[in-house]
Amino acid sequence: MENLRIPGPTPCPADVLQAMAKQMINHRGPEFGQMLNGVTTSLKQLFQTKDDVFLLTGSGTGGLEAVIVNTLSPGDKVLSVSNGVFGERFATIAQQFGAEVTPLRFEWGKAADADAVRQALQAEPQIKAVLVTHNETSTGVTNDLASISSVVKEFDKLLLVDAVSSIGSINLPVDDWHCDVTVTASQKGWMAPPGLAMVSVSQEAWQAHSKARMPRFYWDFAKAKSYLEMATAQTPWTPAVSTVFALSVSLEMMLKEGLPNVIARHARVGRAAREGVKSLGLSLFTKESYASNTVTAVAASNGLDTKKMLKILREEHQIVLAGGQQSLDGKIFRIGHLGWITEDDIEIVISALRVVLPQAGFKG
Ligand SMILES: Cc1ncc(COP(=O)(O)O)c(C=O)c1O
């Protein structure tokens, strides 16, 4: 079996996999309804929100599209805070549906700066919403969402958050930080297979929804809400039933561990990854002050051929790490450490790297 250490999909515990093997049930029947209500209640606890939470069948990108089409109209001005691949993707979706996007870009590997967000909002009073990626998976940076949020709310704008690789692993109190829509996906820190996006929707987001005119059908939050509130809770369209089975088990595990403990475990694991990487003579791609606790990005230096390294790790050690995306291809590699993970799992990766790095040209 491969040791999968990419930032999603992540390995699933045996009980979660077993849940996936269950026979299909009627997705409009009482058994599914009960499970859907249970999963939704658990997610609200883990999102730290009292507002609505919906399960959408799709990937994280589908969830990002849902955020855009449910809150905006063509021609709306949007500020995109971006410091990597996923920030750019969020902005592109908004643009494709007709929003007028003002980009606020930060160097890849650096964190977004709340003061710069303030200046951008001062310069353009017509902006309606701000798009932010909490944890930029492509660079291993966790943005200071609390500070960004307080700026966004100073100006009374909608805060739309890509929390795909953070929430459930890194602290993100949705209500306290006034996130209007927050998106994640089942294959990240949730210890479940791909198939579901999960979104929270605030009262302000509902107000925006009532005026939003971007075309939407499959992703319509109003449909998700009306079906969830039926006597037998359901989703408007056939859901990824097996992934819901899996998620109901993994959420139970997370609640049993307790959210503060899950977050603390990720902090310990993140620290172990960074310390381990440095002990090998490698450099982190980001500053430690904003390095992510779910994915560590490592700079390729001192002759390291990352592609060769990834190949040897995979073929000879059955360890799968991630390379860099887009302009970071060949320049960094990434260790995913979210979901079902402990410090021991990181130790295995670091020990293998110790053997493989010199074989892949590293002269550190
Ligand atoms: C921060 C972030 N946003 C969005 C996505 C896209 O999610 P998906 O691949 O599930 O569409 C990812 C996936 O890696 C991500 O890490």
List pLDDT tens digits, range 240-264: 999 999 999 999 999 999 999 999 9
Contact 131, 162 (CB under 8 A): yes
Among the listed residues 288, 330, 195, 233, the one whose alpha carbon sits nearest the alpha carbon of residue 26? 233
Omega cis (within 30) before 9: yes
Q: What tokens does 152 get?
A: 């966004």
pLDDT, one tens digit per residue, over 317-329 is 999 999 999 999 9
Q: How far is the CA of 119 from the centre of ligand 1 (A)?
A: 28
Q: What are phi and psi of 355, to 5 degrees?
A: -80, -40
Ligand 1 pocket at CB < 6 A? 8, 59-61, 86, 133, 137, 162, 164-165, 185
What is the structure's pLDDT at 103? 98
What is the best residue among 61, 65, 68, 296 to mutate for testing ligand 1's pocket, by most ligand atoms within 8 Å of CB? Answer: 61
pLDDT band of residue 364 (cuts 50, 70, 90) is confident
What is the structure's pLDDT at 72? 99
Residue type at position 191: M
Q: What tokens does 291 get?
A: 């390095």
Q: Inform me whether the pLDDT recorded for 1 exceeds 90.
A: no
Contact 5, 345 (CB under 8 A): yes
Minimal-distance CA residue to ligand 1 atom 15: 164
Q: Inform me whether the pLDDT recorded for 266 exceeds 90.
A: yes
Q: What are phi and psi of 283, to 5 degrees?
A: -110, 145
> What number does the ligand 1 atom closest to the CA of 135 have?
1
Mean pLDDT across the chain, nearest whole number?
A: 98
What is the structure's pLDDT at 151? 98
Contact 33, 233 (CB under 8 A): yes
> What number does the ligand 1 atom closest to the CA of 59 have?
10
What is the best residue among 59, 164, 182, 199 to mutate for testing ligand 1's pocket, by most ligand atoms within 8 Å of CB? Answer: 164
Alpha-carbon gap, residue 201 to 182, rounded angstroms = 7
pLDDT, one tens digit per residue, over 16-39 is 999 999 999 999 999 999 999 999
Q: How far is the CA of 162 from the centre of ligand 1 (A)?
A: 8
Q: How far is the CA of 292 from the centre of ligand 1 (A)?
A: 15
